[in-house]
Amino acid sequence: MSDINAAEETRPFGTEVGRLLDLVVHSLYSDREIFLRELVANAADATDKRRFLALSDEAPALPENPSVRIAADKQAHTITITDHGIGMGKEELAENLGTIARSGTSAFTASLAAQKPEDRPSLIGQFGVGFYSAFMVADKVEVISRKAGGAEAWEWVSEGRGLYTLKPAAREEAGTTIILHMKPDADEFLEPLRLKTIIRKWADHVALPIELEEDGKFSAVTEGTALWRRAKADISEQDYASFYRHLGHSFDAPWATIHWRAEGTLEFSALLFIPSSKPFMPVEEQHDSKVRLHVKRMFITEGAKLLPSWLSFVVGVVDTEDLPLNVSREILQSTPVLERIRKALVNRVLSELKAKAKDAEDFKTFLVNFGNVLKEGLYEDTGHAEEIAGLLRFVSTKEESTTLDEYIARLPEGQNEIYYLAGDDAAALKASPQLEGFAEKGYEVLLLSDPIDAFWPTRTESYKDKKFKSVSQSGALFAPAEASEALGAICKALQTALGDKVSEVTISTRLKDSPAMLVANDLGPDLAMQRLLRRAGRPAFGLPPKLEINPEHKLILALAGRETLTEEAALLFDLAKLQEGDLPENPAAFVRQIAAQLAKAGG
Ligand SMILES: Nc1ncnc2c1ncn2[C@@H]1O[C@H](COP(=O)(O)OP(=O)(O)O)[C@@H](O)[C@H]1O
Ligand SMILES: [Mg+2]
């Protein structure tokens, strides 16, 4: 070790740095522009540290209005970043920049662990590799630093290939200046406009002002607001609304604003909005949550899937202290910190929805916009299905709009199930013969006409211990009538003609206007589900349906005394399918048959 400080010294990087540099430059970051995020984060950290230490006179106070300054020089091919932070002495330069994974920030944080959280400054970067991201864009990096309270300045220089040099330097004030000698293929970053865009994208909410040189003048380019970090009492509705519009690129006002700070084992701030109108891009297609993740105000990604797809309409920001800046995609998916944040967000959004659902009129707006998306949670997230189901409103045979709780409150004696009929079209559902008999019993039926309605009731199974039951599978409610000899013969003949298309032909006690109706087997999919499966080209499964015939219908009575009913059976079967919104098995043959029958009747 040299005896005089003033001598220039060349040292090798600490162990592993060479390899790690390679890793950082080539794989840790997918996006070169984030070198600026890392260097700005370091400058903000250093300024925070100095501000904090100055409180106890351990460092000289910051200059008035400290900032980070960024200047690009196209002639010299350099970008210079200057701060007034805590600075580094000679050995700190060697320690902090010459050794990897020995993050000065984590050492500093550890030394602060004894302090109360609210006294700690907010420090970005716990990982110890951020600085090296500079070598993604620069083939030489100079760091000129003077420690706050120190007398001399030192310069650290490296081309990132195993060695660095330390030498005395000149710097008037405490702080750090980083000069990046840009690689030939990184010229784009010398454009002030490009720099401005990058800074705004990543660091718009960093509290420390960031100034960019343009035409020889420095001016602030960031907002520094981080609205989510401010106390609710200090934020007006307009502030929220304009932030929401900025975030969601939308023009409406938020329908709900959910702003809170989680304290304790997990610390984060969240500001979430539910839009009051559908976005231009259909939410059904956009599917992945775009809630932005920030770490200590610095933007990280909107790809962290902070909310499940059934809440993908929520826009907003989550800002945590508990993650490093440089989280990779893999870490984003698996870190328990994010898992816990995700859970907390879902619960918070659901409880907000529950509160808002009390105002039925207002809640309708929400359901019209996003009810379909929310419904997806019924089968994607069985853990929350009951809560979600409790929020939804349905059309029923008794009410234009009802919740499941209201439905249950109206249950007559003897009814223990929640009956539903799923189909494509609300008006057609209302007229379905499947409903016949339910009114007499006083049983209310939910009419579900969303495409996904065919799926979720079977998946969700029950709500508050009441099972969902498809009316097209509720044949058991209506015991078949005793068959007279003539009717029995008709049933038998029909059964023979239809073969294994039906499991049974019975005499209905509930049909009024329709000649016949299909009833799905209790086990297996109901009729609406079978229809969807068929449309999707999936093979049918489960037992074939039952055919109930109306013993008072002319069409049925006319069959008495006939021995073979091949054509008639096919016709009845097709008519029953048509009533369900299904196509006859062979539409052309069906049309010919009807035409022939009409001709006979006419002749
Ligand atoms: N502008 C700066 N001013 C003072 N110290 C800095 C500056 N930039 C980097 N450092 C020091 O170098 C260390 C390494 O930085 P970095 O690789 O970004 O890791 P991290 O920020 O995660 O600690 C920091 O912890 C800090 O001690
Ligand atoms: Mg850092």
Interval 521-539: pLDDT, tens: 888 888 888 888 888 888 8
pLDDT at 326 > cutoff 80? no
Q: In whole numbers, what is the pLDDT of the chain averaged over residues?
A: 88
For residues 547 and 545, what is the distance between their CA atoms, to the nearest angstrom? Answer: 7
Q: How far is CA 477 from CA 86, 96, 226, 517, in A?
A: 80, 77, 60, 15
User: Is the Cβ–Cβ distance between 274 and 250 less than 8 Å?
Assistant: no
Burial 40-50 (b: 16+ CB within 10 A, else e): bbbbbbbbbbb
34-46 mean pLDDT: 93
- From the CB of residue 540, how many other CB atoms can be counted at a distance below 10 Å? 12
Nearest to 68 by CA among 89, 90, 37: 37
Handedness of CA 382, 386, 392, 394 (dihedral sign): positive
Read off the tokens for 72.
């690009």
Q: Is a pLDDT exceeding 90 seen at residue 86?
A: yes
Average pLDDT of the segment spanning 485-500: 93
Q: Are 500 and 540 in contact (CB under 8 A)?
A: no
Q: What backbone phi and psi angles, to 5 degrees, belong to 526?
A: -80, 180
Contact between residue 38 and residue 45 where contact means Cβ atoms under 8 Å apart:
no
β-sheet bridge partners, residue 182? 138
Taking Cα atoms as reference points, which of 380, 308, 316 lies closest to residue 347?
Answer: 308
Query: Can you give the pLDDT at residue 531?
Result: 84
Please determine, for residue 247, whether its predicted confidence score (pLDDT) is greater than 80: yes
89 within ligand 1 shell (Cβ under 6 A): no
The three-state secondary structure class of 26 is helix
Q: Judge if the beta carbon of residue 131 lies within 6 A of ligand 1.
A: yes
Q: Ligand 1, residue 127: give the atom nearest the CA.
A: 22
131 Cα–ligand 2 center, Å: 6
Q: Is the pLDDT of residue 209 over 80?
A: yes
Nearest atom, ligand 1, residue 128 CA: 19
The alpha carbon of 158 and the centre of ligand 2 are apart by a number of angstroms equal to 18
Residue 256: strand pairing partners = 274
- Say yes or no: CB of residue 289 within 6 Å of ligand 1: no
Report residue 28 as tokens.
Answer: 């840790």
Which ligand does the CA of 85 lie closest to?
1
What band does 6 get if pLDDT is binned at 50, 70 and 90? Answer: low
Give the number of whichever ligand sits closest to the CA of residue 147.
1
Atom of ligand 1 nearest to the CA of 87: 4
Give the residue from 277, 282, 280, 286 showing the smallest Cα distance to 252.
Answer: 277
What is the average per-residue pLDDT within 182-193? 95
Q: How far, in Å, is the centroid of ligand 2 from the Cα of 26?
A: 18
Q: Which residue has the tokens 């029953």?
A: 576
Residue 453 CA to its chain's centroid (Å):
22
Confidence of residue 128 (pLDDT cuts 50, 70, 90): very low
What Rg, from alpha-carbon coordinates, does the chain have? Answer: 36
- pLDDT above 90 covers what percent of the chain? 60
Q: What is the percent of the chain where pLDDT is above 70?
A: 89
Q: What is the number of the ligand 1 atom nearest to the C-alpha of 49?
A: 4
Amino acid at 332: L
Residue 306 alpha carbon to ligand 2 centre in Å: 24
Partners of 82 in beta bridges: 69, 177
Ligand nearest the Cα of residue 106 is 1
Counting ligand 1 atoms within 8 A of each CB, the residue from 47, 96, 210, 321 with the most, and so the one to mutate, is 96
Question: Which ligand number lies closest to the CA of residue 41?
Answer: 2
Say yes or no: CB of residue 42 within 6 Å of ligand 1.
yes
Instruction: Specify the pLDDT at position 136.
Output: 87
Lowest-confidence segment of 191-205, 340-354, 429-443 by average pLDDT: 429-443
Rounded distance from Cα 103 to ligand 2 centre (Å): 8
Does the CB atom of residue 475 touch ligand 1 within 6 A?
no
Q: Determine which residue's CA is closest to atom 7 belonging to ligand 1.
A: 42
Residue 130 beta carbon below 6 angstroms from any ligand 1 atom: yes
Q: Which two tokens stand for residue 580?
A: 């369900």
Q: What number of CA atoms fall less than 13 Å from residue 486's CA on the CB side?
A: 9
Q: How confident is the model at residue 36 (pLDDT cuts 50, 70, 90)?
A: very high
Rank 83-92, 131-140, 484-493 by mean pLDDT and report only the highest. 83-92
Contact (Cβ atoms closer than 8 angstroms) between residue 166 and residue 260: no
DSSP 479: P
Take residue 229 and report the two structure tokens written for it.
């970090």
Q: Give φ, ψ of 413 to 5 degrees.
A: -45, 135
Closest protein CA for atom 26 of ligand 1: 104
Look up residue 115 and give its DSSP letter: S
Whole-angstrom distance, CA of residue 69 vs CA of residue 177: 9
**Phi, psi (deg, nearest 5) at residue 142:** -110, 135
3-state secondary structure 124-188: CCCCCCHHHHHHHCEEEEEEEEECCCCCCEEEEEECCCCEEEEEEECCCCCEEEEEEEECHHHHH
pLDDT band at 455 (very low <50, low <70, confident <90, very high): confident
Confirm or reject: Cβ of 38 under 6 Å from ligand 1.
Answer: yes
Q: How far is the CA of 325 from the centre of ligand 2 (A)?
A: 8
- Quick check: 174 pLDDT over 70? yes
